[in-house]
Structure 1
Amino acid sequence: MSADTLVRPDETVDESTDNDTPKVFHYVKKDRIAESAVMGTHVVALCGEVFPVTRSPKPGSPVCPDCKRIYDMMKK
């Protein structure tokens, strides 16, 4: 694992389903969010999911359980 800055749950990005409804939001490197949203490049979440940023989470949005578990372990 690198020491790069990671995004907190309220700043995560999503993986979209086929109908453009977010399934869950993932933890990704903060510096990649804007680049992905503007350029359409893909980001890699802590859990390994690869996707382009298409939406921002709202408070209470579902967070990927694998990303949350990994993030919590990194904080210790």
Structure 2
Amino acid sequence: MSTDTKERPDVTTDRSTDDDTPKFFHYVKKDKIAESAVMGTHVVALCGEVFPVTRSAKPGSPVCPDCKKIYDGLPKGD
């Protein structure tokens, strides 16, 4: 019989990864955000990326540079 101690490898049961965290937040039509968050439908960002809304941006969050460029080029509303 062996008296060697076997160490258990570090394992986490948390299945979330860094991939779940968006690299950028995108500009999306305001009326589509709530619908997507509740119904799980996909939205289309100004840059063309399609995804379901799962998080809301906080002040200072990184913004998609393509969305920002398009948004800044849109005519200003009232």
Q: Would you say 1:50 and 2:50 are equivalent positions?
A: yes
Higher strand share: 1
Shift of residue 18 of structure 1?
Answer: 6.6
Spell out structure 1 runs of 4+ moving beyond 6 A.
none
Instruction: Quote the residue 2:9 is aligned against.
Output: none
Structure number with the bigger relative contact order (C-alpha 8 A, sep ≥ 6) is 1
Cα displacement string for residues 14-64 of structure 1 (whole angstroms, at most 9, x for unaligned residues): xxx873111100001000000000000000000000000000011110000
Q: Distance in 2 between matches of 1:24 and 1:18?
A: 13
Q: Distance in 1 between matches of 2:58 and 2:75?
A: 23
Q: Would you say 1:71 and 2:63 are equivalent positions?
A: no
Identity %: 87
Q: Distance in 2 between matches of 1:63 and 1:53?
A: 15
Q: Which has more radius of gyration?
A: 2
Gaps (5+ residues) in structure 1?
1-16
Q: Distance in 1 between matches of 2:75 and 2:28?
A: 15
**SS at 1:47's partner residue?**
coil
Q: How does 1:1-76 map to 2 (within 5 A)?
A: 19-75=19-75
